[in-house]
Amino acid sequence: MARKHMILAVVLGILGMATLAHAGTIVAVNTNSVACTATNGGTGAGLCSAYAPTAVTFNNQALANYPGVASYTENGFTFTAGGGDGFAIVNGEGPGYNKEPGYGTSANDTTNYISTPIPGGTTNQGLSSYTINLGMNAYYFGFYWSTIDTYNTITFNFADKTSVSYSGLDFINQFGGTAGSTSSFVNFFFDSAVTSVTMSSNDTYALEADNFAAQTPEPTSMLLLGTGLLGFAGTRKWWKRG
């Protein structure tokens, strides 16, 4: 067996054992991004993924505020309203304390984005949410997260029926920033396949997002994720402690 094939076999063996040994986990989180362009995310969309093409921009959808949208599909991603007020596709700042990703910065997103709960929605609904069916087994997921609040929560649902969550508080603890005003493109890498993602927030302040991207990498691509498995190990330990 050639040397490169031996290396690939060892890595695939480690990944296979990891999948069998425990439920899916987030093995790395970072904030790498590129400026969106006319052909990737759209002009004026702020920040886009540095790892995969932008799949969802909402730019071809007519704006829909209260009573929101029940379902929306773009490039194989299907968004379905969940509890509370569900979601709306909006633009700019609006009632209900929703602000576009990059608000107040040079990376301001002037295009459409998604918000939960919906602007001007009812109160005392508890958590509002929507779930994104990715239409793939994804080992990478990224999006432009606006004015990250501590009570914003992203839950990743794995193909093995387990799930793990990452909150706005987790982001602030890991990367710093100010809750309620910091925006960032956020990238997540997993050791097991993710099939859907649930985005939720409380009924007063919104979770706003845009420029979604996901990818199922070829095995060789897993070897090219920067620092490799040794780099991921430190992040995995952090996640378990958190």
pLDDT value at 210 more than 50:
yes
Name the residue among 71, 63, 118 with its Cα closest to residue 95. Answer: 118
Q: What is the pLDDT of residues 217-232, one digit of tens each?
A: 754 455 455 444 333 3
Domain 29-231 has CATH 1.10.10: no
Q: Which amino acid is at 36?
A: C
Mean pLDDT of the chain: 79
Of 132, 149, 154, 131, which is closest to residue 206 (Cα–Cα)? 149
In the 8-state DSSP scheme, what is residue 118?
A: -
* Distance from C-alpha of 150 to C-alpha of 231, rounded to nearest angstrom: 27
Q: How far apart are CA 170 and CA 152, in angstroms?
A: 10
Return the structure tokens found at 19.
């999948």
Q: What is the mean pLDDT of residues 45-67?
A: 86
DSSP 163-213: EEEEEHHHHHHHH---TTT--EEEEEEEEEEEEEEEEEE-SSS-EEEEEEE
Residue 237: exposed, middle, or buried by beta-carbon count in 10 A (0-12, 13-18, 19+)? Answer: exposed
The whole-angstrom separation of Cα 30 and Cα 213 is: 14
pLDDT for residue 142 = 97
Mean predicted confidence (pLDDT) in 45-56: 95
Centroid of chain to Cα 168: 12
- pLDDT, one tens digit per residue, over 120-171 is 655 555 688 999 999 999 999 999 999 899 989 999 999 999 999 999 999 9
pTM, rounded to two decimals: 0.80
The confidence score (pLDDT) of residue 202 equals: 81
Q: Is 217 left (phi over 0), alpha (psi -120 to 50) or beta?
A: beta
Q: Which amino acid is at 77?
A: F
pLDDT at 179: 87
What are the counts of helices (DSSP H) followed by strands (DSSP E) for the chain? 4, 13
